[in-house]
Amino acid sequence: MYLGDATWPDAGAELADTSTALVPIGSTEQHGPHLPLSTDHVIAEGLARAAADDAGVVCTPTVTVGVSPHHRQFHGTLSVDAPTFRDYVESLSRSLVYQGIDRIVYVNAHGGNVEHLREVGRRLHDDDAAYAVEWMWDESIPELVDSLFERNGPHAGPKETSMVWYLADLVRAGELEAARDDGCPDLEAQRPSETGHGSTTTPSRTATTGPSATRRTPRRRRARNSSRPRASNSSRWRSGWRSSPGRPWDRERTSASGSECRAVGDRVVTPPKR
């Protein structure tokens, strides 16, 4: 049963018969030019609802925003701080425990959530509140994926594209060729060399999926008495870069490759050398 569609009497009857709940968790982040921002949570909810129906357990409403700071330069990407995410999922889980649930499966479709969901599981186990585990869908079917696709892609690749096409029909078919030809199928090749730098080629605007691809090196601070007028935020945005109160973008590292290249869909954007 999907709890979001149930009335409270229906939910009470279902919860009286089961002690297991599936919690679909994803993200709202860029997935190249061909997939929607909802890709991860569409996949998580589709799998969780199907599994709940087959197993006769409950499925909660989906957690649609996860930990995605590494994609924040792309329009529409939403992210929450890791401690906030852990506390929220833990609080949600404890509300299930109050309803009689003592076994929870986090049906996860976003790699940035993995370590945090496992930490929540440890907290609940240490308190003897519930047995909660994180399950990352694509890690359970590597042989199947390898047998179906020549390259399954680390992000926004064929496996996610196929799932979204089946579950929601939200694939931009007209962008598939661009996603294939302009992507980066092998992040390992983009790891930094012994000199500390990866590839020195910065993709063009047409070969990337967001504004950071053309972001300039941060400008040097001008003298206090400079008469040059200061550009407005709107003109900065139109010129291809944005001012952000966050950390300098070239400090961010992608968890997928461990390098100073940023994984963006199946693309990599390399910051300029300092």
Tell me: the pLDDT tens digits for 157-201?
889 999 999 999 899 999 988 888 876 656 565 554 444 433 333
Q: Note the pLDDT tens digit of each residue in 36-46.
A: 999 999 999 99
Q: 245 falls in which pLDDT band (50, 70, 90)? A: very low
Q: What was the pLDDT predicted at 186? A: 60
Q: Reply yes or no on whether the pLDDT at 211 is more than 50.
A: no
21 is written with which tokens?
Answer: 């709940």
Write out the two tokens for 165: 């096409």
Q: What is the pLDDT of residue 139?
A: 87
pLDDT of res. 229: 46
Contact 240, 234 (CB under 8 A): no
36: three-class secondary structure by DSSP? coil
Q: Is the pLDDT of residue 224 over 60?
A: no
| pLDDT value of residue 171 | 94
Q: Answer for the pair 79, 65: CB distance below 8 angstroms, yes or no.
A: yes
The predicted pLDDT at position 141 comes to: 86
Span 104-143, pLDDT tens digits: 999 999 999 999 999 999 999 999 999 999 999 988 888 8
Residue with tokens 């020195």: 200
Q: In which residue ranges of the chain is CATH 3.40.50.10310 found?
A: 3-179
Mean pLDDT score of the chain, rounded to an integer?
76
> What angle (nearest 5°) sits at the alpha carbon of residue 87, between those of residues 84 and 93?
140
pLDDT attached to residue 180: 80
pLDDT (0 to 100) of residue 36: 96
Asked whether residue 268 carries a pLDDT value surpassing 90, the answer given is no
The answer to whether the CB of 36 falls within 8 A of the CB of 74 is no
Most confidently modeled range among 19-28, 173-182, 203-212: 19-28
96-106 mean pLDDT:
97
Question: How is residue 193 written in tokens?
Answer: 């060399």
Question: What SS3 state is found at 149?
Answer: coil
CATH number, span 3-179: 3.40.50.10310
- pTM for the complete prediction? 0.69
Q: Each residue of 135-158: pLDDT tens digit? A: 999 888 888 888 888 877 778 888
**Cα–Cα distance, 34 to 168 (Å, whole number):** 13
Q: Which tops the pLDDT comparison, 211 or 58?
A: 58
